[in-house]
Amino acid sequence: MMRGKASLRWVSRAVVWAAACLSAVLLMASSARSQNGSGPTKPKAMSIPEVVALVKPSVATIMTRGVPPNPFQHPSPPGSGSGLIIDDKGYILTNNHLVEGTRNVVVGLPSGKLMPGRVVGRDFLLDLALVKIEAKDLVAARLGHSSTLQIGETVVAIGTIGNPFATKGGSIVTIGVVSALDQAILPPNGETLYDLIQTDAAINPGNSGGPLVDLSGRVVGITVAVAPSAQAISYAISIDAAYPNIQSMLVRGAVLRPDLGFVPVTVTPSVAASFNLYVDRGVLAAQVEPLKPAAQSGLQDGDVITAIDQTQIYNMGDFWHTFLQAGEQFPAQLTVYGKNGQFSELSLPRVPPPQASR
């Protein structure tokens, strides 16, 4: 009996020892992953001056001519704003509204040097554009993951002062906290912008198109708009939403979306009058092509899509965001106002957008 108890104690000690060894091995493996940068933990927080010093060399001034001001989407003087150097080959990410209506721009580098640039990609639904310059010794910004942001987290907005001489060191910095995530806004006379980060960082002239940065010095958003009727409310396009579309703009000059076999057109008062529509919102189906998914689903020229999956649709931004939101698992259920003056329900297969890896 005593021998059995001793044997049992020995087995218990062996189990405890084995568990301790396994725990040590797992701890060492976890430490190795963190050191290699592949762990889930966030990089060490930096001070505000350290963040600014790290990101400032990647912020450029974008200057154009003939771009009309918009008090909602243009928190900068007409024809001026900021851009973010995203690689050392000369590609600069900025807002489309800053370069809308022009192909050639002037880029002010952090060194104070002025460079000619050209717009090589744009997407007005995302309000993003790519500018290309021919320059050496560029410092590319480090892109982060906006999905790791938390409400209340401190962020830094960096832009240029928008002066015509791109004065060396002429950046402007504001500090704020993340006040909301996954926001949507409808600019006047524009398309709905989605996947926005809302902050209370003050947006000054020249900030539009500049980076929103977390305390690890990584870019988590691109500043895009302010709320004109409220104080201390600004918005940035989340970098997670922007990144998959950057490669498409690089290769094709525009964001590639699924070919459904028709051209979606936002219903505006002028569109409604031109097509004798009896609805004042939604997306008009134009140039419906036979043998394509839309036509095969029953969509016809002149139909107006007013809802997808029971979500109200007001413009093209709403249409694409809602259509692509569920991926390809389920067909989209469209509510359509037809030429006959009646509403009907159509089922349109979903096609996933192209993906880009980091």
Per-residue confidence (pLDDT) for residue 45, from 0 to 100? 87
Query: In the structure, what pLDDT confidence band is assigned to residue 21 with cuts at 50, 70 and 90?
Result: very low
The predicted model gives 35-46 an average pLDDT of: 56
Bigger pLDDT: 72 vs 191: 191
The predicted model gives 41-57 an average pLDDT of: 88
Q: Which of 58, 74, 82, 97 is catalytic?
A: 97
The predicted model gives 19-27 an average pLDDT of: 39
Per-residue confidence (pLDDT) for residue 16, from 0 to 100? 41
- Active site includes 97? yes
Per-residue confidence (pLDDT) for residue 80, from 0 to 100? 79
Q: How far apart are CA 223 and CA 204, in angstroms?
A: 11
Per-residue confidence (pLDDT) for residue 42, from 0 to 100? 65
Kindly list the domain boundaries of the chain, sorted by start residue.
1-29, 44-256, 263-348
Q: Provide the token pair at 319.
A: 């249409």
Q: What CATH number should be reported for the domain whose range is 44-256?
A: 2.40.10.120
The predicted model gives 234-239 an average pLDDT of: 95
Residues 6+ apart with CB under 8 A from 4: none
- Over pLDDT 90: what percentage of the chain? 57
Q: How far apart are CA 130 and CA 343, in angstroms?
A: 41
Say yes or no: do domains 44-256 and 263-348 share a fold.
Answer: no
| Backbone CA torsion sign across 187, 235, 158, 38 | negative
Q: Which of 58, 76, 171, 208 is catalytic?
A: 208
Q: Which of 53, 48, 76 is nearest to 63 (CA)?
A: 76
Q: Which of 286, 269, 287 is nearest to 278 (CA)?
A: 269
Q: What DSSP state is assigned to residue 58? A: G
Bigger pLDDT: 49 vs 189: 49
The predicted model gives 42-52 an average pLDDT of: 88
Q: How far apart are CA 52 and CA 303, in angstroms?
A: 51
Q: Which of 55, 70, 89 is nearest to 221 (CA)?
A: 55
Per-residue confidence (pLDDT) for residue 206, from 0 to 100? 75
Q: How far apart are CA 303 and CA 281, in angstroms?
A: 12
Asked if residues 281 and 307 have their Cβ atoms less than 8 Å apart, the reply is no
- Active site includes 145? no
- Active site includes 88? no
**247 by DSSP, 3-state: which?**
helix
Lowest mean pLDDT among 45-54, 76-85, 228-237, 283-292: 76-85
Residue 103 dihedral angles phi and psi, to the nearest 5°: -110, -25
| Residue listed under structure tokens 């004109």 | 228
**100 by DSSP, 3-state: which?**
coil
Bigger pLDDT: 190 vs 293: 293
- Over pLDDT 70: what percentage of the chain? 76
The predicted model gives 178-188 an average pLDDT of: 90
Q: How far apart are CA 320 and CA 222, in angstroms?
A: 20
The helix/strand count (H/E) of the chain reads as 7, 18
| Backbone CA torsion sign across 161, 239, 358, 94 | negative
Q: Provide the token pair at 20.
A: 């301790």
What is the CATH topology of the domain spanning 263-348? Pdz3 Domain (2.30.42)
Q: Which of 104, 108, 109, 116 is nearest to 65 (CA)?
A: 104
Q: Which of 127, 195, 240, 318 is catalytic?
A: 127
